[in-house]
């Protein structure tokens, strides 16, 4: 005996819409992580050929109310740029956004592909 299990069209549409929303949320999370992932705030100061990189801590202001700063690196502009790029790349985590994109993609695929399940006749 063979039988087909098909998902009703209304469920497929809902599954597709929900999958599309999940993919878009994942893409937005990916974009936000790229932009703000490390959560760092930097300030630079150049004099002559030397550039100083300061980490700015707005949560702990000094006695006058200015954001707290601490010297992180002193070197050339290229060294400072490389340090910032490396630090921010280490601070990013795309796990949640990647999972959202993957799950949304699976939902979209499952909305498009037909579900068919066949059982073999055991009376042969």
How are beta strands 68-75 and 50-57 bridged, if at all? antiparallel
Predicted confidence band of residue 1 (pLDDT cuts 50, 70, 90): very low
Tell me: the pLDDT tens digits for 69-114? 778 888 888 988 888 888 877 777 889 999 999 999 999 998 888 7
- Mark whether 87 and 42 lie in a shared domain: yes
- Mark whether 74 and 105 lie in a shared domain: no
- Mark whether 32 and 22 lie in a shared domain: yes
Tell me the mean pLDDT in the region 30-52.
81
Output 12 or 40, whichever has higher pLDDT: 12
- Mark whether 97 and 80 lie in a shared domain: no
pTM: 0.60
Output 15 or 58, whichever has higher pLDDT: 15
Determine the pLDDT at residue 116.
Answer: 62
Q: What are the angstrom distances between the C-alpha of 26 and each of 11, 31, 65, 80?
A: 22, 9, 38, 32
Number of domain units in the chain? 2
- Mark whether 30 and 70 lie in a shared domain: no
Predicted confidence band of residue 3 (pLDDT cuts 50, 70, 90): very low
Parent domain of 68: 38-91
Tell me the mean pLDDT in the region 114-122.
59
């Amino acid at each position: 005996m063979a039988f087909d299990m098909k998902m009703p069209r209304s469920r497929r549409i809902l599954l597709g819409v929900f999958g599309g929303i999940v993919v878009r949320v994942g893409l937005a999370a990916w974009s936000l992580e790229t932009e703000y992932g490390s959560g760092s705030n930097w300030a630079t100061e150049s004099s002559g050929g030397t550039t100083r990189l300061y980490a700015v801590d707005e949560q702990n202001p000094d006695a006058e109310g200015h954001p707290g700063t601490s010297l992180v690196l002193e070197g050339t502009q290229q060294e400072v740029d490389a340090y910032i790029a490396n630090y921010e790349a280490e601070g990013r985590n795309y796990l949640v956004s990647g999972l959202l994109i993957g799950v949304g993609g699976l939902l979209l695929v499952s909305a498009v592909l037909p579900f068919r399940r066949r059982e073999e006749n055991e009376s042969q």
